[in-house]
């Protein structure tokens, strides 16, 4: 989570960011170094409207670590690693029960809009709340001249594995574990897929799709608690390929016609996306401030 997202937005390897130690927790007093220039900061300087919808997970101990100070002009979602999908409580107990200063042992509400906390949970499934926020943002951008960078970081699939009520229950899947979590995981993935499709539909409806490059990524392999990375060995949190090797997908009208429907068999590191997206945006990575510090390799020519 934290190491991958820091690498994605900075173009640096997690070990160079000091993020190899683990993830930011609800009570962590550290985060991604504010001195490190991030992709949204560069795009914002170049005239982009920049927005984060969903999960941040790169630090929240002080304001310098938060999205508004890291290049995002707008943000909606949560700052920590995960929330209860219906109450939006941060790292729902028991994960943070021992770390919270609250006398009743409960965890704090982690849901914000442009840095300001929402007064209470909405009760809307978290992925759907993010979807609706992204659709509102896209609708507000129709007809605008400035380009848009939307970091759509959905909170699913992630613990707690609780699907919404409006998706198929997948009861026909083999019950491979006592709790039937594989069935719930499949339903959560289906809801996530729908939220991505709904964003694409919004881009098309509001005439942004003809000038869009959509990149779909994962920050790690599936959890062993319901997910599967077969035929790869291992899972999220481990060093085997099942934990660190994932697929990516590119779509949109900016993707050249000759590569649509094809596969790229080469390896791409998460740190490669920052310089790759800068090039795709028409910004020469070698002329961008901070580029010399990037570990990532520009893959745009290999992908198109």
SS3 assignment, position 292: helix
CATH number for 76: 3.40.720.10
Q: How much is the pLDDT for 94? A: 55
C-alpha 58/C-alpha 41 separation (Å) is: 15
Higher pLDDT, 29 or 250: 250
C-alpha 268/C-alpha 39 separation (Å) is: 17
Q: Is the pLDDT of residue 126 over 50?
A: yes
With b for 16 or more beta-carbon neighbours within 10 A and e for fewer, the 140-153 pattern comes to ebeeeeebbbbbbb
Phi, psi for residue 3 in degrees, rounded to 5? -60, -45
The bridge status of strand 116-117 relative to strand 112-113 is antiparallel
Q: Which helix (H) or strand (E) holds 101?
A: none
Tokens standing for residue 97: 């029960």
Q: How much is the pLDDT for 101? A: 47
Q: How much is the pLDDT for 302? A: 93
Q: Is the pLDDT of residue 95 over 80?
A: no
Assign 141 a pLDDT band (cuts: 50, 70, 90).
Answer: very high
Higher pLDDT, 292 or 302: 302
C-alpha 193/C-alpha 95 separation (Å) is: 27
Q: What Cα–Cα distance (Å) separates residue 17 from each residue in 2, 79, 107, 226, 300? A: 11, 19, 28, 31, 24
Name the nearest CA neighbour of 11 among 303, 248, 299. 299
Q: How much is the pLDDT for 102? A: 54
Q: Are 72 and 40 in contact (CB under 8 A)?
A: yes
Task: Give the model confidence (pLDDT) of 30-47 as tens digits.
Answer: 999 999 999 999 999 999
Total-model pTM: 0.92
Name the nearest CA neighbour of 50 among 61, 62, 41. 41
Residue-number span of the structural domain to which 87 is assigned: 2-303
Question: Total structural domains in the chain?
Answer: 1
C-alpha 222/C-alpha 224 separation (Å) is: 6
Q: What angle do CA 62, 274, 55 make, to 5 degrees?
A: 45
* Gyration radius of the chain's alpha carbons: 19
Name the nearest CA neighbour of 294 among 30, 87, 71, 11. 11
Using H for helix, E for strand and C for coil, what is the string for 102-121?
A: CCCCCCCECCEECCEECCCC
Q: Is the pLDDT of residue 100 over 90?
A: no
Using H for helix, E for strand and C for coil, what is the string for 148-199?
A: EEEEEECCCCCCCCCCCCCCCCCCCCCCCCCCCHHHHHHHHHHHHHHHHHHH
Q: How much is the pLDDT for 218? A: 94
C-alpha 36/C-alpha 145 separation (Å) is: 29
Residues labelled as active-site residues: 1, 57
Q: Are 298 and 15 in contact (CB under 8 A)?
A: no
């Amino acid at each position: 989570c934290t190491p991958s997202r820091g690498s994605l937005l900075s173009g640096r390897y997690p070990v160079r960011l000091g993020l190899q130690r683990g993830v930011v927790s609800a009570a962590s007093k550290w985060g991604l170094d504010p001195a490190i220039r991030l992709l949204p900061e560069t795009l914002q300087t170049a005239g982009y409207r920049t927005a984060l919808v969903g999960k941040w997970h790169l630090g929240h101990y002080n304001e310098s670590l938060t999205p508004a100070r890291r290049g995002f002009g707008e943000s909606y979602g949560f700052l920590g690693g995960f929330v209860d999908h219906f109450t939006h409580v941060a790292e729902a107990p028991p994960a943070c029960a021992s770390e919270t200063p609250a006398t009743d042992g409960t965890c704090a509400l982690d849901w914000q809009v442009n840095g300001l906390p929402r007064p209470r949970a909405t009760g809307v499934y978290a992925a759907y709340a993010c979807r609706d926020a992204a659709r509102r943002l896209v609708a507000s951008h129709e007809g605008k001249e400035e380009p848009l960078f939307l970091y759509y970081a959905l909170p699913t699939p992630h613990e707690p594995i609780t699907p919404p009520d409006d998706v198929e229950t997948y009861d026909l899947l083999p019950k491979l574990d006592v709790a039937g979590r594989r069935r719930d995981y499949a339903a959560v993935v289906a809801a996530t897929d729908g939220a991505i499709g709904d964003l694409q539909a919004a881009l098309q409806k509001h005439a942004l799709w003809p000038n869009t490059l959509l990149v779909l990524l994962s920050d790690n392999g599936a959890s062993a608690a319901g997910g599967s990375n077969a035929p790869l060995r291992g899972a999220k949190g481990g060093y085997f390929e099942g934990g660190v090797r994932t697929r990516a997908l590119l779509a949109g009208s900016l993707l050249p016609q000759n590569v649509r429907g094809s596969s790229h068999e080469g390896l791409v590191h998460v740190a490669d996306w920052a310089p790759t997206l800068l090039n795709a945006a028409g910004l020469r990575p070698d002329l961008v401030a901070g580029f010399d510090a990037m570990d990532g390799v520009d893959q745009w020519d290999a992908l198109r």
